Amino acid sequence: MVRHIVGGLLVVIVALVGGAYLLPRGIHVERTTEIARPAAAVFPYVNSLKRANEWSPWMALDPAVKVSYSGPDEGVGARMTWAGNDKVGTGSQEIVQSVAGRKVASDLQFGSQGPAKAALLLTTTEHGTQVVWSLDIDLGNNPVARYVGLTLDKQIGADYERGLAKLKALIESQPAAEPQPASAPATAANAPTS
């Protein structure tokens, strides 16, 4: 009897571990919003880790979180580390690519969970700027991580939706820039003299 129970458990364990390797190794999470402002108004909030924390969905989860910054204030090389409660955890983020008005890409490290890559892509639309926030995680060969990966889109996606909503509200609450008048064309009366 005991032999049958142990044998059955071993079969289940082998099936679960083997099944994990049929699951995706990589996880991609992506959420989108549209902000009624030009990309030039959005870019400073995604190209600076300090400014990004103004709309981060995680900062409110631990008011006592310890954050430190290093490197430049914005763009490539800007880096932050954080240590907080179990909802925020520990980790680091560094901007590794910055294309003015178009893209910011970062490398992330979530404590002992391994590396990830995040990106914010800005695209000009008829009504403003589309912002696409994505995260890519390589789960490696850890079978438990692959099962956990099945829930990450829902968990992280909800955080991304909150963050993008805060970013949209923050930027749209500010006055839109007044359009600059075009320069008057040169005429015989106001043409520069040599």
How far is 66 from 80, CA to CA, in rounded Å? 10
Residues linked to residue 136 through DSSP beta bridges, in sequence order: 28, 117
pLDDT digits (tens, 9 = 90+) for 113-148: 778 899 999 999 999 999 999 999 877 666 655 556
Of 110, 106, 108, 109, which Cα lies nearest the Cα of 121?
Answer: 106
What Rg do the C-alpha atoms of the chain give, in angstroms? Answer: 24
Q: Assign 115 to helix, strand or coil.
A: strand
- Range with the poorest average pLDDT among 86-90, 108-112, 129-133, 176-180: 176-180
Percent of the chain with pLDDT over 90: 53
Which conformational region is residue 172 in: left (phi greater than 0), alpha (psi within -120 to 50 degrees), or beta? alpha
Which domains does the chain carry? 23-172 (3.30.530.20)
Residue 11: C-alpha distances to residues 17, 18, 137, 142, 143 (Å): 10, 10, 30, 19, 16
pLDDT digits (tens, 9 = 90+) for 16-67: 555 544 555 678 889 999 999 999 999 999 999 999 999 999 888 888 999 9
Predicted pLDDT at 87 = 85
How far is 56 from 192, CA to CA, in rounded Å? 51
pLDDT confidence band for 12 (50 / 70 / 90): low
Mean pLDDT of 151-164: 84
